[in-house]
Amino acid sequence: MVIDYKKEGRIATFTINRPQALNAMNVEGVRELHQALVDFRDDAEAWVGIITGAGDRAFCAGADIKDLLPYMRDHGDDFSNIPATTHMRGLEVWKPLIAAINGHALGGGLEIVLACDIRIASENARLGLPEVTLGIIPGWGGTQRLPRMVPWCRAAELLFTGRLIDAQEALRIGLVNRVVPPDKVLATAREIAETICQAGPLAVRAAKEAMYRGSDTTLEEGIRLEMSLETCLLHTEDYVEGTTAFVEKRKPTFKAK
């Protein structure tokens, strides 16, 4: 197994477990990540996901050059043969995903990070999209997500040169939320996940959906989307519980219903 997928309470953890290969993703790993993400998406008891890598050297060093890249070259853009879709490409997961970047996040590894909502980086992490140095470009959304997250000129420099940056530079340009000591990365991600789990899960998912879908529309269309999602939430049990708990000055017990 390449993806070590575990659930503890409301939190699911996806660990890319190929430390001998710096957690590079092979065909098997992409398929397993897809299967785990689908299970997470469909599990009513799982509310927040954390993606990390095994060991302390790498989150994920990207696509396995000897396995995944040849597979993608041979099958081209035929989606019937390309490894199953993930949250980077084609799979909609409205539950929050947190990247716990415990080391190098390069190429496809950074693209996994970019497809997460919140990003916690180790002090020793290095991040980059070095694909152009191999004669290719990022294929899991890197050319599309990075310019939407950092200033255009910063994205252009990273994409055109393949230069790697350290965690502090990633923090300065807004690529990650926090930089913490290596032994605090997963704990910090879990702390944030626990905080999110205290909020209404349906509301959190609606907020994420509104953010993502709204970013591809006009402001007017985005506001209409926001209102439609809000209207749905007003008819949920969680809304009744949340407002009742507020009036009664107690913590709410949400059920994602």
Query: Which one of the listed residues 92, 131, 226, 237 is annotated catalytic?
Result: 131
CA neighbor of 209 nearest in space, from 219, 192, 222: 222
Under 8 Å CB-to-CB from 204, ≥6 apart: which residues? 47, 95, 96, 196
Q: CB atoms < 10 A from the CB of 241, how many? A: 16
Q: Any catalytic annotation for residue 131? A: yes
> Which ranges constitute the DSSP H helices of the chain?
27-42, 68-75, 108-114, 142-149, 152-161, 167-172, 185-197, 201-214, 219-233, 237-248
Q: CB atoms < 10 A from the CB of 98, how many? A: 25
Query: Which one of the listed residues 111, 123, 226, 230 is annotated catalytic?
Result: 111
Q: CB atoms < 10 A from the CB of 85, how many? A: 16
Burial 180-193 (b: 16+ CB within 10 A, else e): beeebbbebbbebb
Q: Any catalytic annotation for residue 28? A: no
Burial 11-49 (b: 16+ CB within 10 A, else e): bbbbbbbbeebbbbbbbbbbebbbebbeebbeeeebbbb
Catalytic sites, residue numbers:
111, 131
